[in-house]
Amino acid sequence: MHASLELNPPSNEPVLTYAPGSTERAALIRELERQASTPVEAPLVIGGQAVLCEPMRDIRAPHRHSVRLGAHAVAGAQHVDRAIQSAMDARAGWNQLSFDQRAAVFLRAAELLSGPWRQRLNAATMLNQSKTAPQAEIDSACELIDFLRFNVYFGTKLQAEQPLSTTGVRNRIFYRPLDGFVYAVTPFNFTAIAGNLPTAPALMGNTVVWKPSPHAVLSAHHIMQLLMEAGLPDGVINLVHGDAEAISESVLSNPAFAGLHFTGSTTVLQGLWRRIGENLPRYRCYPRIVGESGGKDFIFAHPSADPLALGTAIIRGGYEYQGQKCSAPSRLYLPRSLWKSLEKSLCEEVAQIKVGDPADFSNFMGAVIGKDAFRKITGYLDLAARDPSCRMVFGGDSSDEEGYFIRPALIEVQDPKHRLMSEEIFGPVVAAWIYQDDRYQQALEVCEQTSPYGLTGAIFARDAQAVELAQQTLRSAVGNFYVNDKPTGAVVGQQPFGGSRLSGTNDKAGAIFNLLRWVSPQTIKENFNPPRDWRYASQG
Ligand code: NAD
């Protein structure tokens, strides 16, 4: 890599409001109508070429089964091999470009997304992933723009990290890409993550095979088009849709596989990791594994908590995007002294929440992502209904007639280690355990030990000592800790995001820590005055 431009830290992309009468709202409505009435054919993109092949699979809206948004191509083994080959062919050319030249592609993409492409990606995210306008805006517009700009800034800083040079000797670190291609496997729930996982390694000089979620094909299609419009050279990122297991099998058995950039469930990450372990003898290097996975995030309230702030955090954190954020709090630890009044106000507030088609801007929630998610989440609701130790405080209604709709649910449990308090449900279902006020420390310890995950958590307290105790007790329990705020909504550059334990490798997306994983530093010592006599002075 060559010397790089000096960059100041970028600012976070401002979040538009979509208030009635705003120009952005009018533009978004137009784009929603256009995309809903113009089905796309989403190809594979291999070596910059669009590949459409039979059979195509339908792309549908989770909130309206009758809407067909288009169809996407499905990769066969030959396409996966070609995608790998294209990535390997593109490596040398991509690496001949300086970091600044590569960065320019992604900065251009950020500018396009901030301007003319904004509503294209927002509408795709609303239609195919059932996000409301504000949820799409903070994801497919703002967070993705931030990832693109902040990665360039952090990449520049990383290159400035150089060793000492002494008189007559110059030492340098050359930030090489990994010795092969990177496999990016992305989840349905954040368009920004889908965009970040292939582009962060590419910025650092790697070439990529990208397999998006089958539930987010439309936004993946538009991200790929955006990157091409921004000047991404052919073959740097190769997009393949299709059977996740078969594609992964081909990719992970290729000797040139050098890194996995994954976000998704813990089970899938563990399966991929196992496969990589089995294939180790085939590879020409030890592959990097960056995997962010499941969570069982919590809100913990101390008796001194502000009840209004607490209630708002529970509603926004637990139910926005139908509880399908990896950081969404789905277990609550509440003191008995606050519980009765909080229960009453939560019931009143939640009764006002509208669930439905995100194109209706008065809806606070859309549908859950698909049939399997609907079954899994309603399965947990059935479990709670059958279990006499659980009390349904509100919610539990669901219908998959028109779309996959589940109303927000809150379940009080007697057992703090109940499955509802430890397993990832990934839907609008929150469990609450009520502790005795004088057992605060013990309750914190229960929280620390309940779930195998370690992603996000929040403490609500006005008492400074209570905050301190929570921070100390929960130090290893979460990768992102919030004080008097909901545990969702991490902002790139402000709260580097990632969890430990079974929540992932904690490489903090959109931060310098993550970029470090996509380079293999080479140290170069250059001697301007090498010794010309092999004898040492001590021998004289
Ligand atoms: P998922 O694990 O079902 O799918 C993720 C990706 O893996 C998709 O591209 C999918 O097609 C692929 N995949 C599925 N089965 C596979 C297999 N057998 N082999 C290879 N690839 C396979 O996850 P999802 O439902 O898309 O996303 C939700 C999950 O992601 C939740 O568990 C959530 O907590 C997690 N998540 C974590 C973070 C984080 O930062 N920790 C962020 C977002 C989402």
Instruction: Render each residue's pLDDT in the chain as its tens digit; 540 residues.
Output: 444 565 789 999 999 999 999 999 999 999 999 999 999 999 999 999 999 998 999 999 999 999 999 999 999 999 999 999 999 999 999 999 999 999 999 999 999 999 999 999 999 999 999 999 999 999 999 999 999 999 999 999 999 999 999 999 999 999 999 999 999 999 999 999 999 999 999 999 999 999 999 999 999 999 999 999 999 999 999 999 999 999 999 999 999 999 999 999 999 999 999 999 999 999 999 999 999 999 999 999 999 999 999 999 999 999 999 999 999 999 999 999 999 999 999 999 999 999 999 999 999 999 999 999 999 999 999 999 999 999 999 998 999 999 999 999 999 999 999 999 999 999 999 999 999 999 999 999 999 999 999 999 999 999 999 999 999 999 999 999 999 999 999 999 999 999 999 999 999 999 999 999 999 999 999 999 999 999 999 998
List the beta strands (DSSP E) in 323-364.
Answer: 329-335
The residues facing 460 across adjacent strands are 301
Average pLDDT for the chain = 97
Alpha carbons 510 and 495: distance in angstroms, whole number: 10
Alpha carbons 27 and 49: distance in angstroms, whole number: 30
First-to-last alpha carbon distance for the chain, in angstroms, is 45
Separation of CA 210 and ligand 1 centre (Å): 14
Q: Do 247 and 219 contact (CB within 8 A), yes or no?
A: no
pLDDT score recorded for residue 396: 85
pLDDT score recorded for residue 4: 54
Separation of CA 387 and ligand 1 centre (Å): 29
Q: What is the pTM of this model?
A: 0.97
Q: How far is CA 50 from its chain centroid?
A: 26
Alpha carbons 331 and 380: distance in angstroms, whole number: 14
Q: Do 470 and 459 contact (CB within 8 A), yes or no?
A: yes
Q: Would you state the structure tokens that stand for residue 140, as one six-digit string?
A: 């497919």
Separation of CA 342 and ligand 1 centre (Å): 34
Please state whether beta strands 49-51 and 44-46 pair in parallel, antiparallel, or not at all (unpaired): antiparallel
Alpha carbons 129 and 144: distance in angstroms, whole number: 16
How does DSSP classify residue 285? S
* 285 catalytic residue (yes or no): no
113: alpha, beta or left, given left = phi > 0 and alpha = psi -120 to 50?
A: alpha
> Which residues have any ligand 1 atom within 6 Å of their CB?
185-190, 193, 211-214, 244-245, 248, 263-265, 268, 271-272, 292-295, 326, 424, 426, 455, 498-499, 503-504
Which residue's alpha carbon is nearest to atom 22 within ligand 1? Answer: 244
Separation of CA 264 and ligand 1 centre (Å): 2
**Omega of the bond leading into 55 within 30 degrees of 0 (cis):** yes
Q: Would you state the structure tokens that stand for residue 427, as one six-digit string?
A: 């839907």
3-class DSSP state for residue 5? coil
* 349 catalytic residue (yes or no): no
Residue type, 457: G
**Could you read off the pLDDT of 443-484 as tens digits, one per residue?**
999 999 999 999 999 999 999 999 999 999 999 999 999 999
Separation of CA 126 and ligand 1 centre (Å): 19
The residues facing 291 across adjacent strands are 262
Which residue's alpha carbon is nearest to atom 10 within ligand 1? Answer: 213
Polymer length in residues for the chain: 540
Q: Is 157 exposed, middle or buried (0-12, 13-18, 19+ CB in 10 A)?
A: middle
pLDDT score recorded for residue 2: 46
3-class DSSP state for residue 313? helix
pLDDT score recorded for residue 8: 86
Which residue's alpha carbon is nearest to atom 39 within ligand 1? Answer: 292
pLDDT score recorded for residue 27: 98
Ligand 1 pocket test, pick from 188, 267, 506 with the greatest ligand atom count within 8 Å of Cβ, gives: 188
Separation of CA 263 and ligand 1 centre (Å): 6
pLDDT score recorded for residue 6: 54
Residue type, 168: G
Any idea which residue has 């195998």 for tokens? 452
Alpha carbons 263 and 225: distance in angstroms, whole number: 22
255: alpha, beta or left, given left = phi > 0 and alpha = psi -120 to 50?
A: alpha
pLDDT score recorded for residue 348: 98
**Could you read off the pLDDT of 274-291 as tens digits, one per residue?**
999 999 999 999 999 999
Alpha carbons 40 and 221: distance in angstroms, whole number: 9
Ligand 1 pocket test, pick from 293, 321, 453, 502 with the greatest ligand atom count within 8 Å of Cβ, gives: 293
Alpha carbons 230 and 92: distance in angstroms, whole number: 20
Atom of ligand 1 nearest to the CA of 295: 34
Q: Is 11 exposed, middle or buried (0-12, 13-18, 19+ CB in 10 A)?
A: exposed
Which residue's alpha carbon is nearest to atom 17 within ligand 1? Answer: 245
Alpha carbons 145 and 16: distance in angstroms, whole number: 13
3-class DSSP state for residue 132? coil
* Closest residue by Cα to residue 43 from 251, 229, 240, 226: 240
Q: Do 288 and 517 contact (CB within 8 A), yes or no?
A: yes
21: alpha, beta or left, given left = phi > 0 and alpha = psi -120 to 50?
A: left
How does DSSP classify residue 138? I
The packing angle between helices 217-229 and 191-203, to 10°, is 40
Q: Would you state the structure tokens that stand for residue 425, as one six-digit string?
A: 């449900």
Ligand 1 pocket test, pick from 139, 190, 213 with the greatest ligand atom count within 8 Å of Cβ, gives: 213
* Closest residue by Cα to residue 91 from 171, 153, 181: 181
Residue 274 backbone phi and psi in degrees, to 5: -60, -45
Ligand 1 pocket test, pick from 190, 211, 326, 495 with the greatest ligand atom count within 8 Å of Cβ, gives: 326
Among residues 31, 143, 292, 320, the one annotated as catalytic is 292
Q: To the nearest 10°, the Cα dihedral for 421, 422, 423, 424?
A: 80
Separation of CA 244 and ligand 1 centre (Å): 10
Which residue's alpha carbon is nearest to atom 12 within ligand 1? Answer: 244
pLDDT score recorded for residue 388: 98
